[in-house]
Copies of this chain bind each other. A is one copy, B any other.
């Protein structure tokens, strides 16, 4: 008997999975369940000489690890998703301390995600620098 392929998650299923896991702080599990190995992650800006985009799951995990190591999260609020075709949008509102400078601040950003073959292949973050 042939093995049945698991059907790909729809954009809405991916969006709901990501949103639920992120809202309880399970960022790693969110990444494992929803990100393609070929994910491209685009920031609103980058330090001089650095790139706005991280390409591939290894580069994106490294960026996430840097962020997690350097920030203490006091509270996180995730709103959305708004789903349209292969894309969806979410907002993140974070109250964090940047540990190297012991500087507490709030971050508010819109994130847009693109889904292909049941995985997130592109994400872009919109916030003021």
Interface residues of A (CB under 8 A from B): 79-80, 82-93, 108-110, 112, 114, 126-128
A110-B112 in contact given A86-B128, A128-B86 (Cβ < 8 Å): yes
- Contact present for B85 and A90 (CB under 8 Å): no
Complex formed: what's the CA distance from A108 to B82 in Å? Answer: 11
Residues of chain B lying within 8 A (CB to CB) of residue A80: 82, 89
Task: Tell me if A110 and B89 are in contact (CB < 8 A).
Answer: yes
Interface of A, helix, strand, loop or mixed by DSSP? strand
Residues in B whose Cβ lies below 8 Å from that of A112: 89, 110, 112, 126
Q: Which residue of B lies closest to A88 (CB)?
A: B110
Give 11 A-B pairs besides A87-B108, A87-B110 with Cβ atoms closer than 8 angstroms: A82-B90, A84-B108, A84-B110, A85-B108, A85-B109, A85-B128, A86-B128, A89-B91, A110-B112, A112-B112, A112-B126
B82 & A126 in contact (Cβ 8 Å cutoff): no
- List 3 tightest A-B contacts by C-beta distance, closest first: A85-B108, A89-B89, A84-B91
Q: How far is the CA of A93 from the CA of B11 in the complex (A)?
A: 15
Q: Please indicate the chain B residues that have their CB under 8 angstroms from the CB of A84 in the complex.
A: 79, 91-93, 108-110, 126-127
Say which residue of B82, B91, B128 sits within 8 Å of A91 (CB atoms): B82
